[in-house]
């Protein structure tokens, strides 16, 4: 996914979130709202996974192949922290 595609998907998800707000304002059926929230969460997860994949194949690969051990450790700590935060919110 290119940067522009990620932006397009995130803007679409923002529109989806606005739709969820309208559903709540209109007092729509709770399960319908929850399903829409789950769909938005899934869309965000797909964009996040794609961005992480790109990061792993570019920045992390460059750091791991590089000569700077501190930079290697830094990027590895970043990845660990991303997964730690994901597990906290999940």
For the chain, 90 residues long, give each residue's pLDDT as a single digit of tens: 788 999 999 999 999 999 999 999 999 999 999 999 999 999 999 999 999 999 999 988 998 899 999 999 999 999 999 888 878 865
What CATH number does the domain containing 49 carry?
1.20.58.1000
Please state the pTM of the whole predicted model: 0.80
Domain count across the chain: 1
Residue 62 tokens read as 């460059």
Print the domain residue range for 21: 3-89
Please spell the DSSP secondary structure of 29-69, one letter per residue: -HHHHHHHHHHHHHHHHHHHHHHHHHHIIIIIHHHHHSS-H
């Amino acid at each position: 996914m290119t940067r522009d595609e990620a932006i397009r998907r995130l803007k679409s998800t923002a529109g989806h979130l606005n739709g969820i707000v309208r559903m709540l304002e209109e007092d729509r059926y709770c399960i319908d709202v929850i399903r829409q929230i789950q769909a938005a969460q899934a869309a965000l997860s797909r964009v996040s996974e794609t961005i992480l994949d790109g990061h792993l194949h570019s920045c992390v690969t460059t750091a791991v192949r590089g000569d700077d051990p501190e930079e290697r450790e830094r990027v590895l700590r970043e990845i660990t922290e991303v997964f730690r935060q994901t597990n906290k919110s999940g």
